[in-house]
Structure 1
Amino acid sequence: MTPSWRKPAGALIMIASIFIWAVLIASLADTISGWPVGVQMAFYAFVGIVWIMPMKPLLLWMETGRWRV
């Protein structure tokens, strides 16, 4: 069985997307720092979970070669 190119490509896509997401959120730090602490916590908890959503189809593609079940 030959190794699939999808796994290394998917891993690189994941790393790149996490890096881009982190830079995007960090660029908002000046704006967010003016918010109340509770709102900041809720925002960072939300964006800390949201980045996982696009990873499910990517992981499926890495394993099966399809984007949907």
Structure 2
Amino acid sequence: MPIRLKKLIGTILLVALVVIYALIASAVAVTRLAEYGPTAHLLFFLLSGFLWVLPAMAIIKWLIIERPKG
């Protein structure tokens, strides 16, 4: 796969990941955390703020790894 195409696909995947993840995390926060206190909100957003990094790292790893030709 040409590197420019791979970078384009990776960029689109990263942007889609961030947007979809933010929407899901916000929806979960609104529906599940309404009756909890500020400590639960802090812990939820702290955890969910770091959790999106795992799939993003997988996408970035896919972007930078070159497959041997042949």
The percentage of aligned residue pairs carrying the same residue is 17
Greater relative contact order (CA < 8 Å, ≥ 6 in sequence)? 2
Q: After the TM superposition, which parts of structure 1 deviate over 3 Å for at least 4 consecutive aligned residues? A: none
Q: Show CA shifts across 1:3-27 (max 9, x none).
A: 4311111010010011111111111
State how far apart, in whole Å, the 1-side matches of 2:62 and 2:48 are.
Answer: 24
1:16 to 2:16 alignment: yes
Secondary structure of residue in 2 paired with 1:34: coil
CA RMSD of aligned residues (A): 1.7
Pairs aligned (count): 65
Larger helix share, 1 or 2: 2
Deviates more, 1:14-23 or 1:24-33: 24-33
TM superposition score normalised by structure 2 = 0.79
Alignment of 1:29-68 (within 5 A): 29-65=30-66
TM superposition score normalised by structure 1 = 0.80
